[in-house]
Amino acid sequence: MKIITDKQELQNITKNTTKTVGFVPTMGALHEGHISLIKKAREENELIIVSIFVNPTQFLAGEDFAKYPKRDEADKKICKLAGVDILFMPNITMMYGKDEVTIKAPDIRGFVLDGFKRPGHFDGVLQIVLKLFNLARPTNAYFGRKDAQQVILIKQMVNNLFLPINIVDCPLIRGDNGLALSSRNAYLSQEEKEEALKISQSLQDATKLIVTGNLNITEIKKMMMKTLDGIDVEYIEIVSRELLQMQQIELKNTIILVAVKIGSTRLIDNIWI
């Protein structure tokens, strides 16, 4: 595995390769969720590139940019074991200059859910992903459904800007206890981890209700709120896979999304129905 910190060096390789390139962008502190993306990329491509970059432009003032978990040495080992060919680890000045051209998330789908709660977040995500795409020049790029709105907006960017890249959305990976894996889980105390189990529990409860034939969004949200009792809920939303409001649950076209705060840690989770 080659570790590259220089964008020119990466571009020199990707400009000249005739191989299919599978790309997995990450912010590091890798876990089984990230590894599942890398494995899928490994199965479907000849050259695998993973990036680790904690992107400042997607954090709002007061968020956890400065304390975002960093585990470079462990991450390098994980990538090597998972069969990564190139690990790209640039620093901030490598990726950003002064007075940059920016990208704006779309008005409707970029402004709901996390786009509403974290204004500007997706502008930063799309900006860095586009930059990374131009360096990695992937055939296929892999994103997790854990960040549902993110993968939907990236697909839209690829469509709108005619980028010759196939976006692959991959299943959300959970721990044995149901908690969605996230680098941010590292912030949680033992007690908070137990509290956080209510999040996946609420999504399971919703699924059970739907399986029994209840497609009423208000009732499902109400029941989820009950399961999440005692937790600071930012939102529970039930929307279509286009992120639009619906009258009732539509099978194979619904996403239920939850965002909560546990202590000072913000966690998101979702289920695709």
142 vs 217 by CB, closer to ligand AMP: 142
- Smallest separation, CB 266 to ligand AMP (Å): 12
- Smallest separation, CB 155 to ligand AMP (Å): 12
Residue 34: active-site member: yes
> Nearest-CB residue to ligand AMP?
144
Q: Is 269 left (phi over 0), alpha (psi -120 to 50) or beta?
A: beta
- Smallest separation, CB 31 to ligand AMP (Å): 7
Sequence-separated contacts (24+) of 57-64 with Cβ below 8 Å: 57/96, 57/123, 57/124, 57/127, 57/128, 58/121, 58/122, 58/123, 58/124, 58/125, 58/128, 59/121, 59/124, 60/118, 60/119, 60/120, 60/121, 63/118, 64/184, 64/187
- Smallest separation, CB 223 to ligand AMP (Å): 24
Rounded to the nearest 10 degrees, the angle between the axes of helix 190-211 and helix 217-227 is 150
Strand order of the β-sheet with 140-144 is: 2-4, 86-88, 47-52, 21-26, 140-144, 166-170
- Residue for token digits 């099978």? 251
151 vs 217 by CB, closer to ligand AMP: 151
- Smallest separation, CB 145 to ligand AMP (Å): 6
> How many Cα atoms within 13 Å fall on the side-chain side of residue 40?
17
Percent of residues in the chain assigned helix, strand, coil, to nearest 5: 45, 20, 35
26 vs 254 by CB, closer to ligand AMP: 26
85 vs 147 by CB, closer to ligand AMP: 147
DSSP 174: B
14 vs 183 by CB, closer to ligand AMP: 183
Strand order of the β-sheet with 232-240 is: 232-240, 254-262, 265-272
Q: Which of 10, 25, 34, 132 is catalytic?
A: 34
Residues that bind ligand AMP (CB under 6 A): 26-27, 33-34, 36-37, 143-144, 146-147, 170, 172-173, 180-183
| Catalytic residue ranges | 34
